[in-house]
Amino acid sequence: MRLKRESAERFCAELLERTGVLLLPSTLVDHGDEHVRLGFGRRNMPEVLAIVDAYLDATVTSTSS
């Protein structure tokens, strides 16, 4: 997924710190700092997506106000 507003490394670090959800920034595979990698192999994927969705709602709303 491509991020439009911030560093992938910063986004992934903040997401992990605030929610416990781990995404991998594209800097780990020498692909710039605008993308994140999302794995789909977990049984609790719907729960994880809900957590990420809530985080995005909270952070996008708070930064665009």
Query: Scanning the structure block, which residue is given the tokens 């997924």?
Result: 1
Could you read off the pLDDT of 35-61 as tens digits, one per residue?
999 888 778 899 999 999 999 999 886
State residue 33's pLDDT score.
97
Per-domain residue ranges of the chain: 8-64
Mean pLDDT (the chain) is: 89
Query: Scanning the structure block, which residue is given the tokens 């809530």?
Result: 54
For the stretch 48-53, contacts whose Cβ atoms lie closer than 8 Å and that sit 24 or more positions apart, written own/partner, are 48/21, 51/19, 51/20, 51/21, 52/15, 52/19, 52/21, 52/23
State residue 5's pLDDT score.
84
State residue 64's pLDDT score.
53
Kind and range of the H or E run holding 54:
helix 45-64
Res. 11: pLDDT tops 70: yes
